[in-house]
Structure 1
Amino acid sequence: MSGVSKSQVSRLCAELDERVGAFLNRQIEGDWLYLWIDATYVKTREAGRIVSVAVIVAVGVNTEGQREVLGIKVGASEAEPFWTEFLRSLNRRGLRGVKLVISDSHEGIKAAAAKTLKATWQRCRVHFMRNVLAYANKTQRRMVSAAIGTVFVQETPQAARMQWRSVADQFREKLPKLSAMMDAAEHDVLAFMGFPRAHWPQIYSTNPLERLNAEIKRRTNVVGIFPNDASITRLVGAMMLEQNDEWSLNRRYMQLEGLQTLSDTVPTRLSAVAR
């Protein structure tokens, strides 16, 4: 930095660390009905080696239809203990009222969510489609995708389940592994249909987190290799704080229709961080 002394840089970093720390450790108030969780990977130095570490992000929507970044964590892997500790840290800060957790099919996430949150689990529909299409060859994938797509245009959960099973049976002879995967995934992929229809477009996948992860990836790629985990937390935490401020100025993310009927308590509004 031209014209900026080391002491000034140190002071600015300390101020940023304080703001990010306040944001990431703030008390979570009210009911957060929907929770999206996902991870991306960045590189850091550890004991003289370059390693990949997971950066996990949790975004929630409350009873007023507002969304916020509720927490981030940097760690060595996406193993179950890592996710469990992260979700427990959210609980300690006051997270409550979660009815649906949306993530990919990572077993660590699923197991940790089952341990720490009394909530339904939604397997991301987009990730599922990628997984299931791996059992079809290139010439079959468009046909398979179109067939499974007919499930999601059904008007009711009952009709969707019937269509799901019909599509699975359609492929049972020629693509038995694909059909078996559909059999195993039915409940988890269609879980979102047990919630208000107005919310379906936002809760069937982790898409609400995809843009955040893409921006994290873009900004961390500029850095390349981080000196330590604290520097990752500083950068990503500052990005999430900035994102939260932007969201607070926008109209509500989700329609109020059905939100308060899911809540166990009277809704309470939370400011993202003390200013």
Structure 2
Amino acid sequence: MREALSDELIDELLAGAQTQEEIVGPGGLLSDLTRRLVERAMSAELSGHLGYEPGQAPPGGAGNARNGTTPKTLQTEHGPVDIEAPRDRRGSFEPQIVRKRQTRFEGFDDKIVAMYARGMTTRDIEAHLKEIYGASAGRDTISRVTNAVLADAKEWQSRPLEAVYPIVYLDALVVKIRDGQAVKNHACYLAIGVNTDGERDVLGMWFQRTEGAKFWLAVLTELKQRGVEDVLVCCVDGLRGFPEAIEAVYPQTWVQTCIVHQIRSSLRFVPYRDRRQVAADLKKIYTATDRDAAEAELERFAERWDARYPMISASWIEHWERIVPFLAFPPDVRRVVYTTNTIEALNRQIRKIIKTRGHFPTEDAARKLLYLAITNAQTTWRGVYNWSSALAAFRIHFGDRLPDAI
């Protein structure tokens, strides 16, 4: 195709066009070329449908014939293009280049979805299309285009998953959604699984409607039905009711409290003057060589700080059985297990996109944008650092629960 467009032909097309606006602007050379090409292609389609070229007699005498044209405006990435769509007398012609009732050219819908994925509202998209392309697309049209994403999101949510995930991270972000006359905070939970190749994948998102164990039982049951037979380690942010639910669905899974969240929760009680030293003493607990050494460091921490901050050691003691599982692994593997930083990085990207929207009119509107944000974020993800060492440690601790063919 490139060779077919000779320099002489390009020079002839550009004759008289001197500015960027005259070439690619609304009503410019590119728009006119698009119009001519589309009309020519549709005319060829109609000739194929009828069986004869324009100006010729219908084969076999009277039969189906051309019946003039219908004016139509196509919204394209170069602005609106007015075309004359050919018709046949019997109305049996079904063009493929520009289908009946189609008003947006190929690629235009993709641009609307891309802008929506970057957090632009329907009002913003409408104004942007008008300003940049001179194209008019109402908010209802934009909503219909983006609603097509919802089907993709629902298919993504129900897709089959792998049989075993060595690590699954679970965390939540708060999304504002209109509920009747009020705007309420809704928790949207995300699960990221790390497969046996060290590749990360968002397994799904769930908007919480019920409290505690009942909600998590429904989430885990869904994962089970989608093919997840086993999870070795599940890293969570102290989610209420989660340990009970996971014991019901995946009884062998280790539940690991996110250490980063535990530290943040502890430091909320500490004024600035003591924060650095308290953090340093807490670090001695979670960087200890093993569980016994960690317990000794926790006792020393309590002796030093309980007089001022007794709630910190009390919290660590209360959650101790969920804090220490990662200490069974070598030091270079522990960071892979004990923190939900992977999912928090995703949450930061999502919050950056949704912060300008204020709130969503419906849960489906939130689901559309979050799905697009997730799929955009995953394009830049890399494998888990130092995964081969982590996999070797998992093989030692979990044995035949890991598939052999890895």
**Which of 201, 212, 234 is equivalent to 1:101?**
234
* CA deviation after TM superposition for structure 1 residue 31, in Å: 1.0
- State the distance in 2 between where 1:135 and 1:163 align: 20
**Distance (Å, rounded) in 1 between the aligned partners of 2:151 and 2:261:** 36
> Any idea what SS the aligned residue of 1:222 has?
coil
C-alpha distance in 2 between matches for 1:50 and 1:170: 45
Q: What SS does the corresponding residue of 2:369 show, helix, strand or coil?
A: helix
The one-character-per-residue Cα deviations of 1:95-131 (angstroms, maximum 9, x if unpaired) are 2321111111231334433333321111111121122
- Specify the code of the residue in structure 1 equivalent to 2:202: V
TM-score, with normalisation over the residues of structure 1? 0.84
Preserved contact between residue 66 and residue 252 of structure 1 (Cα < 8 Å)? yes
- Distance in 2 (CA, whole Å) between partners of 1:169 and 1:110 is 30
- Partner Cα separation in structure 2 for residue 140 and residue 10 of structure 1: 52
- The answer to which of 153-162 and 54-63 deviates more is 153-162
1:180 CA drift (Å): 2.4
Q: Do the aligned residues in 1 keep the contact of 2:173 with 2:189 (CA within 8 Å)?
A: yes
TM-score by length of 2: 0.59
Out of 347, 366, 382, the residue aligned to residue 232 of structure 1 is 366
Unpaired runs of at least 5, structure 2: 1-125, 130-134
Alignment of 1:55-204 (within 5 A): 55-76=188-209, 79-118=212-251, 119-204=253-338
CA distance in 2, matches of 1:174, 1:238: 47
Higher relative contact order (CA 8 A, sep 6+): 1
Deviates more, 1:126-135 or 1:142-151: 126-135
- CA deviation digits over 1:15-69, x for unaligned, max 9? 4223222222110123101111111111111223211111110001111111110
Residue 183 of structure 2 aligns to which amino acid in structure 1? I
Which residue of structure 2 lines up, in the alignment, with residue 28 of structure 1?
Answer: 161
Give percent identity, aligned residues only.
24
Residue type matched to 1:155 in 2? T
For residues 93 and 4 of structure 1, do their structure 2 counterparts lie closer, same or farther at Cα, with a shift above 3 Å needed? farther
Amino acid at match of 1:96: E
From the CA coordinates, give the structure whose radius of gyration is larger.
Answer: 2
Matched, 1:18 2:173: no
Q: Alpha carbons of 1:142 and 1:93: their partners in 2 closer, same or farther (altered >3 Å)?
A: same
8 Å CA contact retained: 1:38, 1:206: yes
Question: Hey, what's the Cα distance between the residues in 1 that align with 2:404 and 2:183?
Answer: 45
Q: Is 1:54–1:77's contact at 8 Å kept on the other side of the alignment?
A: no
| 2:174 aligned with 1:45 | no
Once superposed, what is the RMSD of the aligned Cα atoms?
2.7
